[in-house]
A = this chain, B = another copy of it.
């Protein structure tokens, strides 16, 4: 908490070489600082002859000049940084991929992307004070107090990826599609009584809710019974209990939609404990397509999001909102697809 890092900017190295400023470039080029600024930002409505421009570029290159973000941010009142607040539940390969894709997508619009893991328990409010991003992206909707603080800190835009049921600022990524595709896949294979493997971790609620909702909708649309929802812990024994309960149900459940691939793997382990064959006795569909899914026993059929398309959509939304333009239209059902393997 305390600022125990010395702040003299020089460190122990003492006389560190000052990094070049626009003034240095101007001096080298034999021009004024204003001209340099106009050239380097090619400011509209400012006509600079080609010869002069080249002089500036040459000087800048020679000195290895790069503008100070701190000064630019101070001057313009905003930075080109987009901050993603990571959720407090353990992040896996899916989120990892989102980070990467989002980073490239935003970079194409000139925005720099960084992620900050919200330290469990600590107040979130300190982060943006140290970054002043142009936009803050969260997984779940922030509560009102947090939002107020954010606005007070001068952040123009906050975007929540999920949990659109609760707030207006949400992007409402169509996570129901995941559940819908799981159920449809099982229905096509002839399963009439589905189970839903609900995650044990309460922190993923905002994520699990829409997925289950999707399964519910699909069941209703296809004339199937309501899904039989059971909480499945990430242990073989706990999962075995759930599997037993599904088997004992009347009529027996024959197809399981799992909240994600990990829960699905637990179901596989639970089934194995009872000698129940997958997919013969019971079929399982996961979600997210983590690497472990491909090498599960049996290899796991799962629903995969098109992270690149998703990230493009998110990036597009952010850029448009920053410019006061309306959001792009929501992506269709094509951003999710079923990866057919052996478990269903």
Contact = CB atoms under 8 A, between A and B. Distances in A.
Given A113-B116, A114-B83, A115-B115, A268 B297 contact: yes
A276 interface: no
Interface in A98-153: 99-100, 103-104, 107-120, 122, 126-127, 129-132, 134, 149, 152-153
A117 B95 CA distance: 12
Contacts of A16: 156
A117 B100 contact: yes
A83 B236 CA distance: 39
A117 B152 CA distance: 29
A108 B323 contact: no
Interface stretch (A24-32, A63-71, A175-183, A247-255): A63-71
B79 A70 contact: yes
Give the number of copies in the complex: 2
B104 A96 contact: no
Contacts of A130: 69, 79-81, 112
Interface residues of A, number: 92
B129 A66 contact: yes
Given A117-B100, A119-B104, A130-B112, A262 B291 contact: yes
Interface of A: 1-9, 11-13, 16, 19, 64, 66-71, 73-74, 76-81, 83, 86, 90-93, 95-97, 99-100, 103-104, 107-120, 122, 126-127, 129-132, 134, 149, 152-154, 156, 234-236, 239, 261-262, 265-266, 268-269, 272, 290-292, 294-297, 299, 319, 322-324
